[in-house]
Structure 1
């Protein structure tokens, strides 16, 4: 049984506008931290279609997705699920919590 990872502070709550995103590094992994419609999300910063950086793509608060800037594949902010082509595989979603004015992320190993 694997040991559960700890929550790691990655940003201040005022550092990411709503809607908006920021690229952070957690344990040598690039994570896109997303603030949308008052909620916080964290996904691996990689489009599963061609490896594009999701952190460069637009966040849509209404449908709770982030789009890859290369080919427009959209991913669900909460689950990492691929919701539009050309991506068919999910990216990894991570847990986020707020403590005071800090945003913390706990990594998950896979989708």
Structure 2
């Protein structure tokens, strides 16, 4: 079985619910996720920082970087890469697709 066929696509939010150049927190199928919209593209990551138990949706989004509100570590929302100290572990990202103005996340 391929990874693509094993993915479950879940309706997360409307595109309009995610302000441009901002982030929102949503719960999808029991998972706490952060949804971002930058330059018309939508991205999805886990919403909990890998360093401290802080919600990334409460952080500061600048370009493609989300800054954790607790210790100011930054992640690249496109690939989840930890960008600076104190972060040492990347945040998980999720594939998304847009259909009919809705954002679907592959879990």
TM over 0.5: yes
- Aligned positions, number: 105
Residue in structure 1 matched with residue 30 of structure 2 by the alignment? 28
Q: Is the 8 A contact 2:35 2:44 kept in 1?
A: yes
Give the TM-score normalised by the residue count of structure 2: 0.91
Q: Structure 1: 5+ residue runs without aligned partners?
A: none
Partner of 2:17: 15
For 1:56-94, what per-residue CA distance to the aligned partner results, in whole angstroms no more than 9, with x for missing partners? 001112xx1111011110001111110111111001100
Runs of 4+ in 1 over 2 A off after TM superposition: none
* TM-score, length basis structure 1: 0.88
Q: Give, in angstroms, the shift of residue 5 of structure 1.
A: 2.2
Which structure 2 residues correspond to residues 1-111 of structure 1 after superposition, within 5 A?
Answer: 4-61=6-63, 64-107=64-107
**How many angstroms apart in 2 are the aligned matches of 1:78 and 1:55?**
15
CA-atom RMSD in angstroms: 1.4
Q: Is the 8 A contact 2:24 2:35 kept in 1?
A: yes
